Amino acid sequence: MKDISLAAEQREGRGKGAAHQLRGTGRIPAVMYGPETKPTPLTIEERAFRTALKQAGGQSTLFTLTIGGKQSKVILREIQRDPVSNRVLHLDFHAISMNRPIHINIPVHFTGIAKGVKAEGGIMQVVMREIEISCLPTNIPEHVEVDVSELGIGDSIHLGALVIPNATILGESTRTVVVISAPTIIKVETPAVPAEGEAAVVAEGEAAPGAEGAAKEGAAPAAGKGAPAAGKAAPGAAGKAAPAAGDKGKKEDKK
């Protein structure tokens, strides 16, 4: 694996104010700690760290920190960045022993194109992009490769199927690393277009209720109003006609 050298200096001032002043001079506040090392505040030149990080290609790289002429083997545990500018604000280095195994996360690189994706239109879903291993510092791999070429739809690779030389993979062996899923099919329902005869029937059926409504609202009330008028006229006419007939009869008797 890569071993990158990086110069560092011990940091005197502490606190947010001192750290802010350091960043203004182009240096990054840092700390080094470990099971056999007391926490040591450090400063590292920002440009030098950027160059070293590009060479490393990830946080699983082994660094050799030179502090006052003394060298220490470390790994980069954490990088704190500004959420807006993405500028590096602080670094955490973990001092290690070359004779003792350490736990570290390494990235997973996927190679090939799954046949389930290429030939069947499936979707490759990556579940784990890095895995945790235990090994000696000299055996830390830069990454682990996973070939997905033979995976069809519904196939997957689990943690227990991976093999890393001189290292122990940590975690449950049944955990899924990658799976090929079937494509999602969205069914679009197209409304049925009625035939000409059916359209005519539907049109008539729609007109009929309107006609009935019109009859109820217009014709029926008119008839209802007319009926009472006729009814009123009939009693009045009959009442006036009846007495007239009776008077005529009396006149004929007198004659």
User: Who has greater pLDDT, 232 or 185?
Assistant: 185
Q: By the 8 A CB rule, do 131 and 60 touch?
A: no
| Six-digit token string for 110 | 């996927």
Determine the Cα–Cα distance for residues 203 and 218; give it in Å rounded to an integer. 22
The domain 3-96 is placed in CATH, from the list 3.40.50.2300, 2.170.150.70, 1.10.10.60, 2.40.240.10, at 2.40.240.10
Residues in the chain: 255
At the top level of CATH, the class of 103-181 is: mainly beta
Rounded CA-CA distance 94/78 in Å is 9
Q: pLDDT per residue over 56-66, tens digit each?
A: 766 678 899 99
Q: Please, what is the end-to-end C-alpha distance for the chain in angstroms?
A: 151
User: Helix, strand, or coil here: 236?
Assistant: helix
Task: Find out whether 76 and 59 touch, Cβ atoms under 8 Å.
Answer: yes
Measure CA 249 to chain center: 106
What is the structure's pLDDT at 183?
87
**SS3 assignment, position 103:** strand
Instruction: Give residue-wise pLDDT tens across range 16-41.
Output: 888 888 888 999 999 999 888 899 99
Confidence of residue 155 (pLDDT cuts 50, 70, 90): very high
Residues 23, 177: Cα–Cα separation, whole Å: 40
The reply to whether the predicted model has a pTM over 0.75 is: no
Comparing 12 with 115, the larger pLDDT belongs to 115
Q: How far apart are CA 228 and CA 226, in angstroms?
A: 6
pLDDT interval class at 221 (50, 70, 90) = very low
| pLDDT tens by residue, 82-137 | 999 999 999 999 999 889 999 999 999 999 999 999 998 999 999 999 999 999 98
Q: Give dist(CA 104, CA 66) in Å, integer.
A: 22
Pull the structure tokens for residue 154. Answer: 């519904």
pLDDT at 122: 94
Residue 40 β-bridge partners:
32
pLDDT of 159 > 70? The answer is yes
Phi/psi for 209 (5° steps) reads -60, -35
Q: What is the mean pLDDT of residues 2-11?
A: 88
More reliable by pLDDT, 203 or 71: 71
Q: 242 pLDDT exceeds 60?
A: no
Tokens for 48?
Answer: 């030098």
Query: What is the C-alpha to C-alpha distance for residues 78 and 32, in angstroms, rounded to an integer?
Result: 11
Sheet bearing 102-111, strands edge to edge: 144-147, 102-111, 130-135, 168-169
Please, what's the b/e burial string for 200-226 (b: 16 or more CB within 10 A of its CB; e: otherwise)? Answer: eeeeeeeeeeeeeeeeeeeeeeeeeee
Q: What is the spatial distance between Cα 248 and Cα 242, in angstroms, rounded to a whole number? A: 10
